[in-house]
Amino acid sequence: MRNRGRRLVKAISKRILHAGKYVHQNLISPDSQEPRKIAFIFGCQRSGTTLMQQIFDRDFGTKVYGEFDAKIYGEYSEANRSANGKHFRLKPLEEVKAVIDRDRARLIVAKPIVETQNALELLAYFPGSKALFMYRNYAAVASSNLKRFGRMNGVNNLWPIVNGARPNWRAEGVPQEIRAMVAARFQETMNPHDAAALFWYVRNRFFFDLGLDQHPSVMPLRYEDLVRNPADVMARVYRFLGKEWRPAGATLVHGASSGGGKDVELSADVDRLCRDLLVRLDHAFAQAWTSDERIARPAPVACSAGLA
C-alpha cells in the first residue's frame, strides 16, 4: 500500500511538472527563434539512462520521449508503437518525425535504448541530432538487472541472441561473431550473473561495432561520473548539445547510487571479457571528455535511412 501511494505521488508530481512545461513551451515562449536540438540516449538497460531522462525532464525547455512503464506512470511515449501490449519500440521514423515536428520544445530528448543497434539510422534520419551513449560498470548492471527483473532475466535476454529470434530487439544487429561467442557460453542453467553480464557486453559492444566511438555526434557518458559530479557533467552534456544548462535536474542525483555489484560472482572468463570492454569504454570516455573536438566538429550529412 505504501509503495502504491509513492507511485501515485510520483505520477501526480510528474503530471504537474508536465502541465507547467506545456504552458511554458506553448504559451509563454511560442515564438522562440532558438534552434531546435534533438538528442538520443542509447546504452544498456540499468546503466543510468532513466536517471538521465529524468534530469532532462526537469528542464522546462525540454520535451522527453521515454519508454512505457505502466507500473510507474501509466503512460507511454507518442513516439513508440504498441506491440503485444508493450510500447518500447519506436514507430516508423516518418511517424516519429511527425510527432517531434508538432512539439514546440527547443530540446527534444528521446530514450530508445532498445534501438541502440539502430543508432546510426536515427542519427542520419534526424539532421543535426546528437546522442549520449551511457554505460556503467558491468557488475553493477548485472546486479541491478536481476534485482529489478528477476533472477532469470539475463538468461531470458540471451536466449533470443543465441537463437536469432525475430523480431526481437535483443537479437537485432548482433554481429555473427558476437552471437557465436555468446552461444559458446550460453546454458539455460548458467550462472544468472554471468548471463546478465554477457547481455551487458552485447549491448555495449554496439558502441564500437557501429563505430560510435568515432562518430562526431556521439558522446560516451560514464554513469559513475554522473552520480559523483552531476552539475559539472550535465553542464558538459548541455554544451555538447549546444544548449544552456539549467541545473534543476541535478538535485535528482545521489552519489550513493553509484555503488552496486558487490554481490555479483562472475566466472573468470566472463569477468575478463567484460573488464576488457569496460577498459575500452573508459578509454573512449576519457578521450571524449578531455577534448572539445566532438563539440566543434560538424554532424555528418543526413541520409534517407529509416527503421522498419
What is the per-residue pLDDT across 35-86, written as a single tens digit (0 to 9) for each?
Answer: 889 999 999 999 999 999 999 998 888 999 987 543 334 445 677 765 544 5
Is the peptide bond between 35 and the residue preceding it cis, with omega within 30 degrees of 0? no
- Whether 132 maps to a domain, the answer reads yes
What contacts 24+ positions apart, CB below 8 Å, involve 237-245? 237/132, 239/295, 240/130, 240/294, 240/295, 241/37, 241/39, 241/107, 241/130, 242/35, 242/37, 242/295, 243/37, 243/61, 243/106, 243/107
Tell me the whole-structure pTM to 2 decimals: 0.83
- Whether 105 maps to a domain, the answer reads yes
Residue whose cell numbers read 510500447: 87
- Whether 20 maps to a domain, the answer reads no
Q: How far is CA 162 from CA 44, 84, 178, 184, 207, in A?
A: 18, 22, 10, 9, 20
Residue whose cell numbers read 521514423: 93
Please tell me the predicted confidence (pLDDT) of residue 263: 81
Q: What are the cell numbers at 12?
A: 501526480
Q: pLDDT confidence of 245, banded at 50, 70, 90?
A: confident
155 contacts 188 by C-beta, under 8 angstroms: yes
- Domain holding 159: CATH number? 3.40.50.300
Residue whose cell numbers read 552519489: 255
Question: Pseudo-torsion of CA 192, 89, 137, 250, nearest 10°?
Answer: -140
Please tell me the predicted confidence (pLDDT) of residue 301: 36
Please tell me the predicted confidence (pLDDT) of residue 252: 67
Q: How many CB atoms lie within 10 A of CB 56?
A: 27
Please tell me the predicted confidence (pLDDT) of residue 133: 98
Please tell me the predicted confidence (pLDDT) of residue 69: 41
Res 306 pLDDT > 50: no
Please tell me the predicted confidence (pLDDT) of residue 15: 57
Q: Which is it for strands 62-65 and 37-43: parallel, antiparallel or unpaired?
A: unpaired
- Whether 17 maps to a domain, the answer reads no
Res 90 pLDDT > 80: yes
- Whether 212 maps to a domain, the answer reads yes
Residue 112, phi then psi, degrees to nearest 5:
-90, 65
7 contacts 15 by C-beta, under 8 angstroms: no
- CB within 8 A of 46, min separation 6: which ones? 136, 140, 141, 144, 145, 148
- Whether 6 maps to a domain, the answer reads no
Please tell me the predicted confidence (pLDDT) of residue 71: 36
Q: How many CB atoms lie within 10 A of CB 99?
A: 17
- Whether 97 maps to a domain, the answer reads yes
**Domain membership of residue 132 as a residue range:** 32-296
What is the per-residue pLDDT across 252-289, written as a single tens digit (0 to 9) for each?
Answer: 676 555 567 778 899 999 999 999 999 999 999 999 98
- Whether 24 maps to a domain, the answer reads no
Number of domains the chain contains: 1
